Amino acid sequence: MSCPAVLLLTVSTNNISRNGVASSLLYFFACIWFYVSHRQRFWLASVSCYKEFLWVRCFHLFIVIHLPLTSCSACCFQKNPAYKKIFLKHLILQGEIPWDDKEFRMYFLSGAAFWTAVTYYFFLRDGGREVTWKDFVNGYLAKGVVDRLEVVNKRYVKVIFSPGKTPVDGQYVWFNIGSVDTFERNLETAQLELGIEGENRLPVVYSTESDGSFLLSMLPTVLIIGFLLFMLRRGPAGAGRPGRGMGGLFSVGETTAKVLRDEIDVKFKDVAGCEEAKLEIMEFVNFLKNPKQYQDLGAKIPKGAILTGPPGTGKTLLAKATAGEANVPFITVNGSEFLEMFVGVGPARVRDLFVLARKNAPCILFIDEIDAVGRKRGRGNFGGQSEQENTLNQLLVEMDGFNTATNVVVLAGTNRPDILDPALMRPGRFDRQIYIGPPDIKGRASIFKVHLRPLKLDADLDKETLARKMAALTPGFSGADIANVCNEAALIAARHLSDAITQKHFEQAIERVIGGLEKKTQVLQPEEKKTVAYHEAGHAVAGWYLEHADPLLKVSIIPRGKGLGYAQYLPKEQYLYTKEQLLDRMCMTLGGRVAEEIFFGRITTGAQDDLKKVTQSAYAQIVQFGMNEKVGQVSFDLPRQGEMVLEKPYSEATARLIDTEVRNLISTAYQRTQQLLMEKKPEVEKVALRLLEKEVLDKNDMVELLGQRPFAEKSTYEEFVEGTGGMDEDTTLPEGLKDWNKERGSEKEESTDEQVARQIKGGMPF
């Protein structure tokens, strides 16, 4: 292939989707060039182009129909005559040329009509032959070959010849006239001079014809209207849904869902830390691929499942992995896309979405952030029926009206299952609720292994050992947090021009994620720096001598984020807490404020965040956990952050009692901390002075200053997982899910026609 042909073809196809008609013309000339250069490969290049761009498909099809490519086809298919038959059958009948696509038909018919009109107007229309008045008089009127004259639009005159006296070229003759009156006078004068009597004079007929000037005058208006329609299609209402409908305001009621087949690269091997949820999702895919396995036992295929859990735990990632491995169409849509400014759009889009799902069955439909459309009805509508309620009602009807024989499984994801409508959550719509919580230490190790794969680590680091160590240092981290830690470690290594990522980089990344950006350039006055040192020393010493406090890993007086100091602890992998454990945590949190009061006789604003945490813990113990004798064994929901509470679920007397008991609990913890730090005053001072000297202390420094901690503690991965049944996650599959994404049964042998079709679709040369 010649270089100019390749360049022109590449430029034209890259610009097709950006520049409409102009790019189509460029593609037209590129195809002509390519056809002239390499006629035998024209078909193959065209196949690869129109697979990607709708405009290219329309224009290419027009070229194939209108250009004489018979010789090209013969050259391409001469080696195997079956290729031509299979080619047309595969491309046209099996959907490569989307005849059923409304937009494709519109583009193709419009293009065909336009080029047909242009071809007729400029090439096929008989334009006649223009002559002068003198030539008309001497060459035709004087010879008596004219039958009559036809004045057209009062602008020019057609000469109609007598039968049998038409010129050899067969064209009619015409000449321009200035005005009708002048023409009539000149004609009368010419006939008098030629001696033509009155009864033999030429009859003059007046007519009106359309010569295309009206259409040309309308062209600017048509272009403006077309541009406006194009902009409406490219606007918010028409964005994100190429290839379906006209787009814009004309398709505002059509779904914005995307059908994914082979576009997703995420696989289940890229998802870790939620093995139970993975098994549930694998089973849904197995329902679609092998329904007989369940129907033989009388089981019905579940209609849907909802994925719930905190942010960053992998709900959407699990859905992406399902799309990447399901081998069935995967339709995805966001819950907020159902709601627009127009009334009735939401229900219409829900209907269109499920029509699309039924057409692609068996398939999986995933609605992300379904709480945008699935909130409980009857709240905040101020007496009116909201658009969100109408959309939810339509969604309920569509899901409940599903027949399991349609083989469509609906998955949904949300962070707020508590606000969803009960009718949406009932069995029959979402049969299963799959909770994906923060990973445990084994899950975090598996997630670290996934994210460590593409990283270039130091030669001394073993990925499995590093993953386990990092899992022990990151309790409470979600999958998104772990991915962020690995990425931050790589960025830190690149910042220091390191050849590989070391363990120190990972430790710095954990500190960056937990505490925020280190601000070494922030200037603190000596008095403020001393206050911060004693504040952090109070936290460290209180936690060191309290049995249920979390083990200390590092303490620093270098500002990070909003705080002027930073302490890193290693919380236990624990799901149940006693009253004594919570009290020890409160005392450790109050250690900074108590140290300020003991050593300086005053308090500062630096303990604001500590007091906030202590207050939240105290209210949770009394209001939610029932850990107060006077309030009793009751539990009330505390308002979420930023949530407005119009009325409390308890009386004013109970509210006053709760407030009193919260103050008493915090006072008890404060006095206990004061007593502890007064006893350990020398230790606090030693830690503070060392902090002023080194700015950062780790666990070894604390052991040197205070001695070994008087309580047993766990710090390694092996210690944490001891007695839990193994060192790693259990990833074994049940027998029924061994081939969960494959259809069971004998493999069908590929026929010759199918083999040829596959080769054509893959772009294999003939």
User: What's 335-373 look like in SS3?
Assistant: HHHHCCCCCCHHHHHHHHHHHHHHHCCCEEEEEECHHHC
Is residue 536 annotated as a catalytic residue, yes or no?
Answer: yes
Rounded alpha-carbon distances, angstroms, from residue 410 to 368, 392, 402, 588? 11, 15, 10, 48
Point out the catalytic residue in the list 389, 398, 536, 596: 536
Cα gap 174→149, rounded to integer Å: 9
Parallel/antiparallel/unpaired status of strands 304-308 and 408-414: parallel
16 DSSP 8-state letter: T
Query: Any idea which residue has 């994100």 for tokens?
Result: 240
Parallel/antiparallel/unpaired status of strands 156-161 and 173-176: antiparallel
CB atoms within 10 A of CB 192: 11
- Tokens found for residue 659: 């407030």
Would you say how long the chain is, in residues?
766
**Residue 476, Ramachandran bin (φ over 0: left; ψ between -120 and 50: alpha; else beta):** left
Question: Which amino acid is residue 235, in one-letter code?
Answer: G
- Tokens found for residue 36: 């002239």
Cα gap 459→719, rounded to integer Å: 26
**Do you find a cis peptide bond into 649, omega within 30 degrees of 0?**
no
Q: Are 403 and 359 in contact (CB under 8 A)?
A: no
| Burial class of residue 350, CB neighbours in 10 A (0-12, 13-18, 19+) | buried
Long-range pairs for 188-197 at CB < 8 Å and ≥24 separation?
190/137, 190/141, 191/141, 194/137, 194/141, 194/142
Q: Return the active site residues.
A: 536
